[in-house]
Amino acid sequence: LSSQLRAMAAPEPQLAGVLGAAVDQIDVDEKVVIVRTLRVHVNVGMLDLYRNDVRRLGLAVPCAHNKGDTRVFVGTAFAPEAMKFFGPPPDGADAEAYLQECYKILNSQKSVVDYVNSCDDRKNDPKKKWVFGTREKELGDFNELLLEFKEACPIFFDEETGAPFYQEQNFAAAFIDCIRRRNPELKCKTHIQKLCKKRRLLRKADAVVKAARRADAVAAATVLVARGRVV
């Protein structure tokens, strides 16, 4: 985090907003078995989907004057969503400076994890700190399971864009129920990891086979065209 944000949020930033609520729920669920393990995955996933959506609002704000100039976020659609994600700025803080820092943090999942670990008393308590590698893997497995959820419950996805309606009130519950019903063998986090790894490998192998078939088809068509020209 920049020295500017640290100065604004004396003595240290406090988790709030959607981010704070998600962190609290994920921390609790992380300690229990499969239902809560799946809830960790879906909350990590929904939080990242929201992060991306808020960041896109920031990207949509035009630069102040010329390309490369700083964007001004106060008064834009980005401002209320950023404050919803992180919570309002500390008392006395400059709103624009706060939004600029929020925009930087929203750049990646790792930036958000680093911010979480800088808040409250987490930076002084290793047991409370999030490990980016863990959250990154959970997000990857969530995205893998999301493919199955989309196939089984298309009602939770936009017909045109395929984007999930993750802000629907019962999205998380429906996701967990669907994955458990379709995969009753899942009993712990290790089972989720193995299932998702297997599916990723199978999909990658299938993509290689399809690519090879397309290449063969192009080669065969090329040969036919060449023969036609010879004739």
pTM: 0.78
With contact defined as beta carbons under 8 Å apart, do 44 and 138 qualify? Answer: yes
Q: CA-CA distance, 198 to 205, in Å (whole number)?
A: 11
**Sequence-separated (6 or more) residues with CB below 8 Å from residue 24:** 15
With contact defined as beta carbons under 8 Å apart, do 57 and 81 qualify? Answer: yes
pLDDT for 116-128, tens place per residue? 999 887 888 888 8
DSSP H or E run through 222: helix 189-230
Q: What are phi and psi of 32, to 5 degrees?
A: -120, 180
State the pLDDT confidence band at 51, using cuts at 50, 70 and 90: very high
Q: What is the pLDDT of residue 230?
A: 46
Name the residue with higher pLDDT: 29 or 134.
134
Name the residue with higher pLDDT: 41 or 30.
41
Q: CA-CA distance, 40 to 31, in Å (whole number)?
A: 10
pLDDT for 149-207, tens place per residue? 999 999 999 999 999 999 999 999 999 999 999 999 998 999 999 999 999 999 888 77
Tokens of 171: 């999205």
State the pLDDT confidence band at 231, using cuts at 50, 70 and 90: very low
pLDDT above 90 for 27: no
Q: What is the pLDDT of residue 209?
A: 78
pLDDT for 77-117, tens place per residue? 999 999 999 999 988 899 999 999 999 999 999 999 999 99
User: What single DSSP character describes residue 71?
Assistant: B
The residue behind tokens 């009602």 is 155
- Quote helix, strand, coil % in the chain, to nearest 5: 70, 0, 30
pLDDT above 70 for 72: yes
